[in-house]
Each structure stands twice: as structure tokens, then as C-alpha cells.
Chains A and B, each alone.
Chain A
Amino acid sequence: MPKTKITKNGVVERKLIGLADLVITAAQKAKDPTMAIPIRALSNVSFNERKGLLEMGDKKQSRSFFNVGMAKKFMQTILVADALSELQRAELTTSLREIYYRTKHTIQDSHENTFDTQDESDPIIEDLEVSLTALREELHVRAENGGSVVGPLVLGDDGDRVDCAKLGKGGYSVPSIVEPEYVEIRRCTADFVLLVEKGTQWNRLSEDKFWRRYNCVLLTGNGQPPRGVRRLARRLHEEYKLPVYVLVDNDPWGYYIYSVVKQGSINLAFESQRMAIPKAKFIGLSSADPERYELPRNVGIKLNEKDIARAKELLNYQWFQKPAWQAEIKRMLASGLKYELDALANKDFQYLTKKYLPRKLKEKDWLD
């Protein structure tokens, strides 16, 4: 486990101890200890058009100890806070799962567990992130390493020099915490960042050394990109002024992945500030592409009910109101088909590398 070098320690720890103080003060006053936790749902999220970001509202829910429905959650919150402060003191980072195991035990004189599954402890960590306005990294909790990067990029990780141009086709596995304190970007000579939804297509591009030819950083998050990947893209965008292009499947979920990269997610709206890349561009697969690139209809997949419902939901999101986007989604609905990136292989194994992307870049054919 890597040692941390943060100096903010004191602040976060003080915030965590504040929860204990809350209980103690309430007890002294014979009041029900209650904490306020911002709500993480669409109802408490608004789209800031000027900034192009999703922002969390002020709605809060209170969590009281002496309420039968909340007592357990309250107790769990305090337990997690305790575990997190232990991390702070020991200067260790850990995973969500480890937090779950650390806080799980049987309550004295009963058969009841403090936590029965990880599903109970994960949201509590998010609750604490939001209510203490501390980032997950600041709480020393990391997620799985969920992405890869290759390209003309040199990173410093734990004092090691990582040259992402010399890591073969496997690339560097992006850690979940890429804050400057943990990962430093020593050098980057790329012209843009290409964020690919699918690992398979990232592999194709990496194998074909697409990044060398077009001088870009290739990133993937294997599906919905995890925080580390998003944060790295954002840092490249911010610190090196690189444009970011997003390449996803042509289906509602692909659109949403793009929107998460661009504006932030509903669940983690409080993180948009430092994660979102409002200037990210949607490079494909667009619903216009099958026609433009002459993809046969039979490589499409029929939209199922869920897809259609999700697409209609997207149509209503405030951040999909641009005419181009409305047209894009409606075109997909009208065709009744979705296309995977992999479908491009129908024309040629290297069609993506050799034809599709070059033409897209040349024609500047992307959506904003």
C-alpha cells in the first residue's frame, strides 16, 4: 500500500472527528443526533449551462440516530467515519471492499452484523464524501484500477518514471487516484486525447499504433470510465490544453458515457467540478455514420425496449437539448437500430484505425 504524501490530512481527519462531536454535543443537550446529507439524485442535480457542468443542489436529507428507520445507517456512518479516520492517521489508502470488511462485525450480544453486504457500506462512503465535501482520494479510498492508457505521455508514479509510449500494446493501468500528489504528468507531447469506451477497440488502436501516427493519448475506461480515467483525461485537457474526443458505441448508453465525461454524472454531480470536461467532443459512433460509412444494415442490432426508454430519457435531459443532439438521438430511434464499434470490422479488421478515425479527424466530424 503506497504511503501518501498529502498534507491535507489534518483537515479531513478533523472533519471526520466532527461527526463524533456531533453525537457528543447532541447527547449533552439530550437531542437526537442528526446529520445532514446532500441528496445524490436527479432531483438534486442541475445543469449549469454557462459552465457546461452538472451541479449538485442544496437539498439535504437528515439522518437521525433515534429513528428506527435510520438508526442502523447512522450507526454505520459513524463506523465508516471511524475506519476512514484510522486510514488518515495511518496514512494508508484502501479499497471500498476493505472498508466493508474493516467495519463488519457482529454487534455485541446479538446476531446482527453491522454490515451484511458491501452494498450497505459503499453508499455510506459516498454520503461522507458529499457531506464532508471531501474527495474520495482525500478519504484515502481508491477504486479498482479500471482503465488503460498509451501514448506520448510520461508519468511519475511513486517515484517511478512511466513512459506510456514504451509500454507495448498493454499500456499503463490507470490508478483510481491520479491527483498530482499521487501521479505527476512529467511530459506530454500529444495533440489530443482519444477516450474509447470499449477495451477491445482500444486494443485495436493500440495494436495498430494509432497513437503514434496521429500523436494522441489513447485512453479507455472499459465501459463507464472510472474516476481515475476521467480525472486523467481532465488533467491532460486542463494542464496540456488537449482536446478530448470520445469514441463510444452508437446506443443510448454510449451517449450517456459521453455525457458523463463531458458534464459529470448524476450520482457524483459533486465531483463534476474536477472531473467533467465540458469541451469534450463526441466523435462516434454517430447514428449518421452507418449511412456515411456505408455500414450494411445487417450489422446493426435492433433497439430493445430498454434502449428506447433510455433514449427517450436522454432526449429530456437538459444537457442533450442542442439541436444536433436531438437530431442524433432521434435518428437512432427512427432507424430502430444500434451499432457497436466492433461492427466496423465488418468492412475490414483495421477499418477503425485506417479509415474511420482518419476520416472523422480529417472532416472534423464530431458533435459537441
Chain B
Amino acid sequence: MAKHKATATATKKSDVRPAPAVTAVEMGARQREISVSEFFTKNRHLLGFDNPRKALLTCVKEAVDNALDACEEAGILPDVTVQLEVVAVGSSPLLPASQATRFRVTVADNGPGIVRQQIPKIFAKLLYGSKFHRLRMSRGQQGIGISAAGMYGQLTTGKPVKIISRTGPKTSAHYFEVQIDTKKNEPLVHENKQIEWDQPRGTQVAIEVEGRYQKGRASVDEYLEQTSIANPHVRLTYRTPEGETKEYPRAYHELPPSPKEIKPHPYGIEFGMLLKMLQDAKSHTLSEFLASDFCRVTPALADEMCKAAKVSPKAKPRDIRGAIAETLYHTIQATKIMAPPTNCLSPIGEKAILSGLYRQIKGEFYTAVSRPPSVYRGNPFIIEAGLAFGKAPDSAAKPEKPSQPLAEGEEEEGDSELARVIRYANRVPLLYQQSSCATFKAVLATTWRNYGISQSRGALPAGPMVIFVHIASVWVPFTSESKEAIAEYDEIHKDITLALRECGRRLGLFLRRRERAASEFRRRNIFELYIEEVVEACNRLKGGKLSTEKLKAQLQKIASTKTGGIKTDETLGKTGAGPEGLPHSIIVTAEGVDGAVPSLPEGSHVIAPQTDVSGEIHKEVKKPSTKQGRKQPAKKAVGKQAKINPITVPSIATKGGSSQKQAGKVRKGSKVHLTGKKK
């Protein structure tokens, strides 16, 4: 790298005047090391600081990722507060948020805190962290993020990063102001003192950066909203620069199971990596090294591999190099080895995805799928997909607009909106480079038309729909350091596709079922509309001497028998519910019915999206998938009940029609569930 740079400058010089050639000695004098900090200062786009708007988002993102990682690793249910404030530049007055160019990003958590000595390094040294060297699922991977954010702040505003951290109520809080020495990639501590802090435990970091605050796509607001969908166990408070406070309450009260750290799997190792591991090995023999430094390699298997590679199992690992090492490497790759363990992964889980989607997105149908773990290049991963479909029931129920007749050539504005894809890697929302991401490509490649959703060639499916895709892996293959898109490994692509298909299949089922009821309703409806017209016209034809009421009644009677009569009323939920035919059903599929959805144990302060829902349940009875075996059966049985709104459940329209019975059951079920959850 250094060399290349030197030559670059040299040629540039010679361009200006064809002066005497530069000697190797002179060139050598200019060649020197570049520190990572310097490199990233110049190449900040690699880390997601390309433009002020994205930079602001990246700062928030890095700080939130760190906060969540820390809390989860310490087994604490995260409470995170994000605050954006406008900062005045120089002596000019404070600008409104949409025009401001400088912001203070403050992120506070209730995590374990950071020991005093580590604080400067964590926040002011690039490539310093706990996550890079281990194979364990976490949001951060490289140890660049937060320090890069600090560096960006330093670069654009000259202000240091301010940190408060406290490891417990018995210790005192520390306040630090740090900057980074970009030449040396070392922290510079400006301020270090003990202070009073009202939090018993946790970390707060404040960075002043140049940025732009703009809502909409790929905004801080969207990022936090999506974070909350994929992390329903987090309580998130967001104070916008406009002074608003948004609360994302905790919807799920269990921490995701803590992922285990694993050793690398032999399939995921490159040759150079193997060489390095051989050099660093603590074991005395090769077979011992293979068995202890890799996962899924038993001593017997290690011996077998040595034998196959024609190396002595007793050989010293340090002595293996060159051609022998290469043979060994190829032998290892050719040996059949069990897939890596998957307890290093912590998927979000169908329940949690559902509750996240349900809470954040208003729709009529939700589903979620967790795939069984798979492996790419020796790295285990899990794909999860979710789907929220439809319009919010309350907005769907009211007529779209006052009845205004259309003129010729005018058309009703259709639902031409395309689906929205929300992507996650290790629970972190990905907001940029959607089109180069494996998840997005898989969404495009899925034939949604099979599931009753229209889709133009090479486009997203059309419809009011949010598609959720999550990849959990010990090492997520991003396409760049700024972690914006997932690389397209075949294994990953295949698993995403399978998960999406399952979601699509369930959606199709739901749509068909709903369509059936709706078409009956429509049939009835058009007849009712047209009867009026026909009767009036007949009356005029007969010179106004017709008893219109009688004719109308007669025709309506025929219409009713032609459209299935009372039976249709039942499917439409017309018998007990409101005047509009379709009930506000929350439809949950087999896996989804786990009940996690709306039953929020601390339901009092929750912003329930469907407050006026009369509580129709359209329960899908599908045989429970055996994949779900790891969940406790007792809990599951209880959780099987769908939409829980214990206050108002007037009637439940089920597929079969035995509505009253079902209603009782559900009501009881939900109560049991509530108590069950509380303990």
C-alpha cells in the first residue's frame, strides 16, 4: 500500500515537469507505514461515512450496536436511549433539525459498563475490540465501528468523544473525553474524572458530528424502528432532534439465548489461516492441534486426516509448512466433517419476529419462519424470514374516500405500491445497498405470483407488504466494511429463498381463504346494488305503477339463496360484528400462533396498534410443525391461541363455524397464557 502511494506521487510529479527521474533512494525516503486511522480518515466511505446524512445514521448505529451487544452478553435486558440534538456551529443561531449541519448523538444503555482502563481504547482506537478474534454471533465484528464514529466526529467538528460509564451501583461513574491520535492509532485522553451519575449501571457515549437529519428511507428513524422490530426484547427510547420522544416498548421479555463461542470449522479455513494457526498452536502434536483448535474434529478424525495426508500425527504443528501443509490443507477440505455446532447462533425466533412485526407494522397478516441452521464456508448461519401483509384494519374498514363518481378514463388509484424489504444481519438493520444484497436478490427471485401476489419481471412483489429477512451468523459475509449488504453465497441464497417461499405459501393460503369469503360478499354486494337499479328502471318502464318494495324483496330473496345465504353471513362474520363485512381478523399461521404476538404481559402502557379491533380471530388450524420441537410443549399449547384482546371478544369467526365454542376457548387460553407469562 505504502509503496503504491509513493509511486503515485512520483508519477504525478513527473507529469508536471519531465524532471530528472527519482532514484530508488529518494523514493525509499518517502516510503513509510500508514496507520489504519490515517487510512480510514481518507477512506471514510468504507466505514459508512460517505455523506452527512449517512454519517449521522452510522454513528447512531455503531453506538446502538455496541450497547445492545454489551447488554446481551452481560445478560441484561437492554434499555437504550438514543438522543439527537442540534448543535450550533460557532456563534450562529440554532437551526431547525432539517437544516442543521451539526448534531450531538448520545446513546445510553443499562449495560454492564466498561472498566476504566479500557474506555479510551474502546472509543479511540481503531480495530480494538473483543469480537474480532472469536467466532460468536454479535452485531459488531471488527472493532472499528464506534471508534470510527468518534474519529469522524473529531474530523468534522474537532470535538472529543464523551463517555460516562459505570459498572455497578457500588462503584462510581467515570467521565472521559477522548480523541484518537490518527498517526499512531492510539487514544488521547483529554479528560478523566469521577462524576455523579443517576444511572446505577451502564454506558453513555456522546459524539458531536457533522450530519444531516432527514426522515424517510435509510434515516435514523427508520433504523431505530427496524431495530425495534428485530429486537423486541429491547426497550428503546428515541429523542428526535425535533424534540419528540418516541418509545419502543419491550414486547418480548426474554433475552435471546446467549450465543456460544465456537472454534473455527475446518471447512471455513483458508490455507494461509491454517499456516498461521499451525505456527500459533499451543498443542504439541498435530493431531492434538487439529482436535483442539477446530470444532467437529475428534482425535480419531484428526489421526485419520493425518494419515490421509501422509503426515505423522505426532509431528509438531510448527514444523508443518510448505508442501506438506498444503497437502494437509487439501486433505482436511476433502475429509467429511460434521457441520459446525449451531449453538453459537442466536436466532430471533419466530415468536419474537412476529411480536416485532405486529407491534411496528400495521397489517392483517403476519408470519415468520426460522430456518434450521446451515453452513457456508464452515460458518454456521440461520436464516429467518417474516412477512407482514395488508393495511391496518382500521384504515381498511373505512371507505377510502367519499363516494365520488369517476369520469370516463379516470381510474381508481390502485395499490401499486411495492413491497418493502427490511434486512437484518445479526439483528442489525441494513439500510443501504439494498439491490446488491443477497436477501433482496432472493426476494426478487421468489415467484410471488404463485402466492397470489402480483410481481412484474425483475421487480419487487406489489402490495401492502413488508418482507423481513434476517441472517444470523458467527461471521456475516458483508460485501464491504460498512456492512451494508450481504454477499451472495449459494448456501445463503438457497436458505433465504426457502424461508421466503414458506412465508409466501402461508400468505397465499391466507389470501385465498380471505378471497373466498370476500368474493361471496362481493357477489352479494353487487346483486344488492344492482337490484336497486333494476327495480327503479322497471318501475319507470311500467310507468311508475310498480310496487317497488315488493319486487325488491322478491329479488333480494333470490339473491340471498344464490349466494349461500346465512352461511356466507357466517364466513363473513356478519352475524355479530360490525356492519362492514370483513372482520378485522388477525391471522396467524401455525408457527405464528405461538401467542407471543399481542399478549404483552405488561400490556397496560403498550401502544396497541389495533385498539378498536373487535377481536375477530381467524385461526388457522394447521398441523404444528415439528421443527419447533425445541420449544416447551406446555407453553406452546397455551400459546397456540391467537389474537388476545381479552376485553372485547364478541364473536370469533372460524373456518369451521363453531364460533362460540372457539371464543370461549380462546378467552380462557389467553388468560392462562397471561398468568403463565407472568411468573
Contacts and interface: CB of A to CB of B under 8 A. Distances in A.
A350 interface: no
Contacts of B529: 107-110, 112
B537 A20 contact: yes
Interface string B406-438: 101100100000000000000000000000000
Contacts of B558: 27, 30-32, 66
A240 interface: no
Interface stretch (A42-50, A78-86, A241-249, A354-362): A78-86
Interface stretch (A67-75, A170-178, A282-290): A67-75
Interface string A81-110: 110011000000000000000000111111
Nearest to A110: B529
B183 interface: no
B554 A79 contact: no
A24 B534 contact: no
A78 B538 contact: yes
B541 A20 contact: yes
B400 to A, nearest CB: 8
B530 A107 contact: yes
B403 A66 contact: no
Interface in A97-145: 105-114, 116-117
Given A68-B523, A82-B540, A108-B529, A23 B562 contact: no
B403 A79 contact: no
B621 interface: no
Interface string B536-551: 0111111000100001
Given A81-B537, A107-B532, A20 B526 contact: no
B38 interface: no
Contact of B534 (A23, A106, A108, A111): A23
A86 B539 CA distance: 12
A82 B406 CA distance: 23
Range of interface residues on chain B? 20 to 34
A117 B540 CA distance: 23
Interface in A50-67: 65-66
A68 B526 contact: yes
Contacts of A78: 533-534, 537-538, 541
Contacts of A298: none
Contact of B537 (A27, A82, A108, A116): A82
A16 interface: yes
B448 interface: no
B541 A85 contact: yes
Contacts of A111: 401, 403-406, 412
Central interface residue in B408, B541, B558, by most chain A CB within 10 Å = B541
Nearest to B528: A109
B406 A113 contact: yes
B408 A116 contact: yes
A30 B534 contact: no
- Give the top 3 A-B pairs by smallest Cβ distance, nearest first: A106-B405, A20-B541, A27-B554
Given A82-B541, A111-B404, 18 more contacts: A19-B541, A20-B537, A23-B534, A23-B551, A24-B546, A30-B558, A66-B558, A71-B527, A82-B538, A85-B540, A106-B403, A107-B530, A111-B403, A111-B405, A111-B406, A112-B529, A114-B533, A116-B406
7 contacts: A20-B538, A24-B542, A30-B557, A65-B534, A86-B540, A107-B532, A111-B401
